[in-house]
């Protein structure tokens, strides 16, 4: 049973790509800050400067399997200018979307 679950996880994770994640993030460009928060929830952190605001979302997952343990993580940052998503950036080893 464990092998079936692991195999299913590997198959599904193969469909999750950074390119699809970029498309997902691009769909949020121009969205209001309130709409972004309604969609993604409260950010992990907020940074304000006189010209812009940065909303950062962090996720991580510690997974152990037959071949050892790994931490999957993603940090996504949205730059807000004039109340709207102006640009985004991300880093991590599991920034992907289906």
Domains for the chain: give ranges and CATH numbers: 16-92 (3.30.1450)
| Whether residue 48 has pLDDT greater than 60 | yes
Tokens representing 5 are 């679950």
- Report if pTM > 0.75: yes
Alpha carbon distance, N-terminus to C-terminus of the chain: 25
Rounded CA-CA distance 33/39 in Å is 10
pLDDT in tens, 9-31: 555 556 889 999 999 999 999 99
């Amino acid at each position: 049973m464990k092998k079936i679950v692991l195999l299913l996880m590997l198959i599904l994770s193969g469909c999750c790509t950074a390119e699809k994640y970029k498309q997902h993030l691009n769909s949020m460009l121009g969205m209001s800050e309130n709409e972004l928060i309604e969609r993604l929830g409260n950010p992990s952190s907020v940074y304000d400067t006189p010209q812009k605001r940065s909303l950062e979302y962090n996720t991580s997952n510690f997974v152990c399997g037959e071949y050892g343990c790994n931490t999957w993580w993603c940090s996504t940052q949205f730059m807000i200018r004039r109340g709207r998503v102006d640009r985004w950036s991300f880093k991590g080893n599991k920034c992907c979307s289906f």
